[in-house]
Structure 1
């Protein structure tokens, strides 16, 4: 019986192993890949896809941000150019008005000089008598009046100048004007 048991033990010893033919050692790596390695590769692939999508999303957000900043800068440049044009137009108008004022002042000075020459009282008296047919008043036609010292004049609101409300752009430009 011992012989029979030894023979069975010998059989059982080689039951789980394979016979290697030749003088080359057998492969340590099994022919099949364990399931956890396949899952690991799939997870790595999914993670790579997820990271690529996140990177694309970040790039799109960054591009949109850059576009918005460029639009804001462009709008600011347009607003600045518009304000500059308005200021230059107002400067031209002011220069024209100053030229017009200078011309009017010189005309006024000329007219004043002419009037000063014509304010000769004797000349005025002769013109009134000869050309207009006027005469000096008779003593009964002269009426003297006494004006009290506390006399005053009342000015009513109808003489007020109505001032226009400046536009929004004009009010902004008034902030930048030098006084």
Structure 2
């Protein structure tokens, strides 16, 4: 039998055609069960979601309120600094005006005639060392203006 299928040379014999039978398969449809559509149960209750959203809005509102308060304070601080510079300029101008208008001869004459003073002699003069830095202490208290902010309202509420 082996000799029958052995091929001499390089030419291979043609294999006889044998059609294969294709079996037709019937597709059987299995009826699917219809399930009732039920609403899904939420893992987080609606009340908690609304509460978290309200907390988020409260935090955002607090942040916006604080930023607006800071902006208002910065504007007030800038206005106070500008007012301070104006007062310093006015003070310098007044000091220069007073310094130029004081006549030392008139001061000496008024001191001798009206106040009864006299010029000291050389042995009566005592040299005094005066520091160039001059400052004064204010012992009065500054009243703070009452603000209607959330912080002051809360502290006033809990202070009662």
Question: Given the two structures, how large is their TM-score scaled by the length of structure 1?
Answer: 0.41
Q: Which structure has more helix as a fraction of its residues?
A: 1
Question: Given the two structures, how large is their TM-score scaled by the length of structure 2?
Answer: 0.45
Higher relative contact order (CA 8 A, sep 6+): 1
